[in-house]
């Protein structure tokens, strides 16, 4: 059986481009599973339903590898589950090297796809590390030039002293006092500590 998996990140994004690709691959529309949810992990309702339905020998079509997920470590885990444990073929329509049905000079598509995924995973990891390093370098340079990060501290309301007195004497709760001041109870607690110090 042929199955298709389509994913967009939000409910208002359009799936038609991916659905056109599914029709082009002759995937029966009743076998296409659609998630409108982030690809940060594989805890997705339609994906999980589809995996339960898949049997050995079935074929799974996806438009591109990022429709399967964003995290290459998890993609590789799912890929192994689908191709090795469930014994499926996977076809990534816009990336022919990720087609486990192909055989090139006696080398199976599953072997080639596994190698390609490992390379993609390595490249993605290096890119994540490079992005993190560039961010840290940028933050260091910005701090050197006096840039402040984070939310500016809340200004202490002039009613604080009176509410702090009521709170210290058990006449009002901390949450009640902080609500009256329009700040979080954590801010109120910090102000109270700072006044004691």
Q: Quick one: tokens of 128?
A: 């994540």
Q: Catalytic residue at 9?
A: yes
Q: What are phi and psi of 12, to 5 degrees?
A: -90, 0
Give the C-alpha distances (Å, rounded to integers) separating 27 from 58, 96, 159. Answer: 12, 17, 67
Q: How far is CA 89 from the centre of its chain?
A: 25
d(CA 115, CA 110): 9
7 sits in which H/E element: strand 2-8
In degrees to the nearest 10, what's the CA dihedral of 31, 35, 36, 41?
-160
Catalytic residue among 9, 38, 64, 121: 9
In 47-106, DSSP assigns E strands to 59-62, 89-92, 103-104
Residues with catalytic annotation? 9
């Amino acid at each position: 059986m042929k199955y298709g998996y389509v994913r967009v990140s939000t409910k208002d994004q359009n799936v038609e481009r991916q659905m056109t690709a599914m029709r082009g691959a002759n995937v029966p529309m009743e076998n296409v599973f659609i998630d409108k949810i982030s690809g940060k992990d594989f805890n997705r309702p339609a994906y999980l339903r589809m995996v339960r339905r898949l049997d050995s020998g079935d074929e799974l079509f996806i438009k591109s590898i990022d429709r399967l997920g964003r995290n290459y470590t998890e993609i590789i885990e799912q890929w192994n589950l689908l191709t090795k444990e469930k014994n499926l073929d996977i076809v990534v329509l816009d990336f022919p090297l990720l087609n486990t049905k192909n055989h090139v000079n006696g080398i199976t598509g599953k072997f080639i796809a596994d190698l390609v995924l490992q390379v993609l995973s390595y490249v993605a990891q290096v890119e994540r590390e490079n992005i993190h390093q560039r961010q840290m370098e940028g933050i260091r340079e910005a701090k050197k030039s006096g840039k402040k990060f984070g939310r500016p501290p809340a200004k202490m309301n002039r009613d604080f002293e009176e509410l702090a007195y009521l709170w210290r004497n058990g006449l009002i709760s901390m949450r009640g006092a902080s609500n009256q001041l329009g700040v979080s109870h954590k801010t109120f607690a910090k102000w109270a500590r700072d006044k004691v110090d």
